[in-house]
Amino acid sequence: MATQGERKAETRQRLLDAAAELFAERGIEGASVDAIAERAERTSGAVYDHFGGKDGLLYALLEGWADDVAAVITAELAAASTLDDRLAALWRNVAHPPTGEGQWIRLEHELWSFAARHDGARARLRQRYEAAWAGIDSAIGEWARDEGMAPPSRPLGPAVIGVLLGLEMMRRLDPNAIDDCTAVATLRGAVGAPQPQKEHAR
Amino acid sequence: MATQGERKAETRQRLLDAAAELFAERGIEGASVDAIAERAERTSGAVYDHFGGKDGLLYALLEGWADDVAAVITAELAAASTLDDRLAALWRNVAHPPTGEGQWIRLEHELWSFAARHDGARARLRQRYEAAWAGIDSAIGEWARDEGMAPPSRPLGPAVIGVLLGLEMMRRLDPNAIDDCTAVATLRGAVGAPQPQKEHAR
DNA sequence: GTCTATATACCGATAGAC
DNA sequence: GTCTATCGGTATATAGAC
């Protein structure tokens, strides 16, 4: 027998999961509160009770989600030992998502587009990205030590994340546009590492 | 005294301009036909007469627009002589748009998000991007000859465009996240050129 | 906390006058 | 070709029963 607190927590989570799915599928403006509630097997009233409205639901989704993505990527990186393996692991996470929902990137873009139009959302999203950038920067620092390279002279986290998202955009338009090898080579450029083989120019 | 044909052409152009603005400002789903018509100083009926509906307006916007962007970028590239200057010109066009409307990138993302959800739009957008990729590829071929580098072993156009869009995403969240120098260095990586100075590692 | 019912507003699209 | 008027559908959000 579930307590009231447990029921409340489950409803909250169901609404968050449903919102993540529908925002990705239909866009943030295209997903109605009713549709979200219906997918969560609740009614629209529950959304207003828990989050005060659609915006509140979006913001809650934004904040409770940073940790999840970061945790997955950190785990993937820990399992790789060479620079190329690590960069390939990063790319794999955006291009061929392993977990059930392969559309978190789409949601990422929805959030970005929404944030480009709404100041409040932009501030929150920026805060999230600053954490991700810092994580990449500290990881790059470790790699540089491992590979015997000099540490970067300025933060490269934004460039790495930007390259990952941008390449994925092209790949979604045409699955053959970006092969794994091109992606890793571009990422090497973003972290300031030289190209290893001579298959690229000079 | 304007002929009927002239009036028709003007109405069409006003509707296209208004749609471009409003799609960028409010998103494609968020911009209503009435609002577009109102900004164009017409009424919603005109949209249906000219384009058959909102989708038709979007597609017309998509197709009539590829040439404009390509022309601007090609002109910028022709004015630059070194590889870094050319890459800097590319970056400048997305990061600090020179022309009046500095928000075509936002519209670009709106189109991408919309295309990710609608197959018909994705096919059209992909066609547009394939032209852009080919343009970059042929430009890279010329640069490689100028700089005495070997030509790339595979198409790099998608990577270059992806990097440009991805870096701009990060810059929009935080204007200081990507400085011009980082952008050019990342683009050098995307086109397979080595880092020139020793300010980066090794 | 969740439901039904509803108020209010706006959406895309069409019909018909001019 | 553009207008007004309007239809049917759906949106957000709230009020009140349970």
pLDDT at A79: 84
Closest partner residue to B159 among A115, A172, A186, by Cβ?
A186
Whether B58 contacts B64, CB under 8 Å = no
From chain A, the residues in CB contact with B180 under 8 A are none
pLDDT at B88: 96
One domain, residues B184 and B144: yes
User: Which positions of strand C lie within 7 Å of protein CB atoms?
Assistant: 1-5, 10-16
One domain, residues A113 and A21: no
Query: Is the Cα dihedral A31, A34, A38, A40 positive or negative?
Result: positive
For residue A195, being part of any structural domain is answered with: no
pLDDT at B200: 44
CATH number for A24: 1.10.10.60
CA A83 – CA A146 distance, rounded (Å)? 9
One domain, residues A71 and A47: no
pLDDT tens readout for residues A98-150: 765 667 888 999 999 999 999 999 999 999 999 999 999 999 998 888 888 88
Q: Of all nucleotides in the shown strands, which has a C1' nearest the CA of B57?
A: C12
For residue A131, being part of any structural domain is answered with: yes
pLDDT < 50: residue spans in chain A: 198-202
**Nearest residue to A14 via CA among A52, A56, A57:** A57
pLDDT < 50: residue spans in chain B: 198-202
One domain, residues B69 and B146: yes
pLDDT tens readout for residues B55-101: 999 999 988 877 777 787 788 888 888 999 999 999 998 998 876 56
For residue A198, being part of any structural domain is answered with: no
pLDDT at B66: 73
One domain, residues B91 and B175: yes
Structure token digits, residue B80: 């630059």
One domain, residues B70 and B36: no
One domain, residues A81 and A162: yes
Domain count, chain A: 2
Tally of CB atoms within 10 A around B156: 23
Examine the fold and report which residue of A22, A39, A59 is the final residue of a domain before the chain moves on.
A59
**Nearest residue to B152 via CA among B136, B132, B165:** B136
pLDDT at A100: 58
Spell out the alpha helix ranges (H) of chain A: 4-26, 33-39, 44-51, 54-63, 66-78, 83-95, 104-117, 119-147, 157-173, 180-190
Domain hosting residue B24, numbered range: 1-52
pLDDT at B2: 65
Q: Could you tell me if B104 lies within 8 Å of chain A, comparing CB atoms? A: no
- Rounded to two decimals, the pTM is 0.94
pLDDT at A199: 47
Q: Quick check: B170 and A161 CB within 8 A?
A: yes
CATH number for B124: 1.10.357
Tally of CB atoms within 10 A around B125: 21
Residue type, B73: I
Q: Quick check: B174 and A110 CB within 8 A?
A: no
For residue B127, being part of any structural domain is answered with: yes
